[in-house]
Amino acid sequence: MIKTKLIERINNKSSIIGVLGLGYVGLPLVMRYAEIGYKVVGIDIDQKKVDMLNQGISYIEHIASENIRSTLDTGFKATTDFSCISEIDVLILCVPTPLNKYREPDLSYVTDTTDAIIPYLREGHVLSLESTTYPGTTEEELLPRMESSGLTVGTEVFLVYSPEREDPGNPDYTTSTIPKVVGGHTAACTKVGKAIYQQAIDEIIVVSSTKTAEMTKLLENIHRAVNIGLVNEMKIVADRMGIDIHEVIRAAATKPFGFTAYYPGPGLGGHCIPIDPFYLTWKAREYDLNTRFIELAGEVNTNMPRWVISKMMDALNDREKSLKGAKVLVLGIAYKKDVDDMRESPSVELMELLEEKGALVEYSDPHVAVFPKMREHSFDLSSVDPTPENIAQYDVLLIATNHTAFDYEMFQEQAQLIIDTRGVYSQVAENIIKA
């Protein structure tokens, strides 16, 4: 029986693992499977990434090059050649699922990658999608593509959805210690999926279908997006009332039950939380449903960068200065503290809004030496060294990401004006504006 033989190969580690998409999700998976004794092949369309990996060089800050070299020693190789898929047993898709300019799901990376797999699909293959998406994607997009090969899903080949749960830069949770949700298209698919992941992950949570697994991922991140939207709205109200929202949150967090602290910021960043709610709201319209609560939170979070800029403009006006022509240094352009991850970073939108209004924009980020090439954004800039002399020459410092490496005490001493979007400063000072 195909399923039984495949599970046996997975369990005795004679199966070959293929990871498609070698970014913040895919690369840790590669390393984990290689670490526990599997032969692993990594596939990516970015030749530069492939070359760096094969040379033992990491392009993700929190993954050391030494660890890449150790993975190579196990027999790992990276390639852009999809023909190697015929030799692989387990195919794990970890490709981007962004939004298009209309804030609608862009599944082109998923569908294009699947289309590239199909010519090499053979009996005994299992395909697991990890990319965040709307409920129904696996059945509506991947299933018909696999069936177009003439192979039967559930008996000859197997289809699984298992959402990624990576938190880049978080030392408390690793790929192996974060519980893994697994849902298969059929019961047989689920058994195969469980076999794949239970080798590498400490705890497996099996759900009844791929749709359930897809919705689980959305709920996790929509929960965060809605609560961040709530606290961002509370920040605006508190600001108008002359109250420090961060002091309020610290006080509320002392309640030992019934309260979870969420923190406001200049907008939402990362590969999931700014995007996932729109995947569900888009799909819900197919069922004649309006997800008003989710959309309202999205509207609040999306508008935060403009609110921050308005606070900056008011602060400059109070000092008889204009934003147009002002020298602004954005502190931190990664989407979260102490990482180099730029995906959906609100700092980028802040920089674009500042340029639109005529400000002279530069940035400083100890984790991003040169502004990277991005799908929709482009700045020809390198990180400014935040020395006292450099800090003093800017009209405004905008704290967008509160990296630990920054010298906030020196900033306060040297800066003409600081716009603090992260609650770094708890004290009141003439040159600090909370936003």
Distance CA 165, CA 180 (A): 8
Active-site residue, selected from the candidate residues 84, 94, 189, 272: 272
Which segment of 31-45, 286-300, 303-317 scores lowest on mean pLDDT? 286-300
- The predicted model gives 420-426 an average pLDDT of 96
Q: What percent of the chain has pLDDT over 90?
A: 88
DSSP state of 327: E
Sign of CA dihedral 48, 54, 57, 61: positive
pLDDT band at 271 (very low <50, low <70, confident <90, very high): low
The confidence score (pLDDT) of residue 250 equals: 96
CA nearest neighbour of 342 among 361, 303, 302, 370: 370
Tell me whether residue 272 is one of the annotated catalytic residues.
Answer: yes
Instruction: Yes or no: say if 434 and 315 are a contact pair by the CB < 8 Å rule.
Output: no
Above 80 in pLDDT, residue 228?
yes
The confidence score (pLDDT) of residue 170 equals: 81
The confidence score (pLDDT) of residue 284 equals: 92
- The predicted model gives 100-124 an average pLDDT of 93
pTM of the prediction?
0.91
Compute the half-sphere exposure of residue 279: CA atoms within 13 Å on the CB side of its CA. 28
Instruction: For the chain, give every residue range classified as CATH 3.40.50.720.
Output: 2-208, 224-434
pLDDT band at 428 (very low <50, low <70, confident <90, very high): confident
pLDDT digits over 399-422, tens only? 999 999 999 999 999 999 999 999
The confidence score (pLDDT) of residue 166 equals: 83
pLDDT digits over 118-135, tens only? 999 999 999 999 999 999
More confident residue, 362 or 269: 362
- The predicted model gives 137-144 an average pLDDT of 98
CA nearest neighbour of 343 among 307, 368, 324, 364: 368
Characterize 168-186 residue by residue with b for buried, 16 or more Cβ atoms within 10 angstroms of its Cβ, and e for exposed. Answer: bbeeeeebeebebbbbbbb
Angle, helix 346-356 to helix 292-318, in steps of 10 degrees: 50
Cα 355–359–363 angle (5° rounding)?
Answer: 75
Which helix (H) or strand (E) covers residue 17, if one does? Answer: strand 16-20
pLDDT digits over 85-96, tens only? 999 999 999 999
Q: What is the mean pLDDT of the chain?
A: 95
Q: Which fold has domain 224-434?
A: Rossmann fold (3.40.50)
pLDDT digits over 337-349, tens only? 999 998 889 999 9
- The predicted model gives 163-189 an average pLDDT of 92
Options 1.20.58.220, 3.40.50.720, 3.30.70.20, 3.40.190.10; CATH for 2-208 is 3.40.50.720
Above 90 in pLDDT, residue 195?
yes
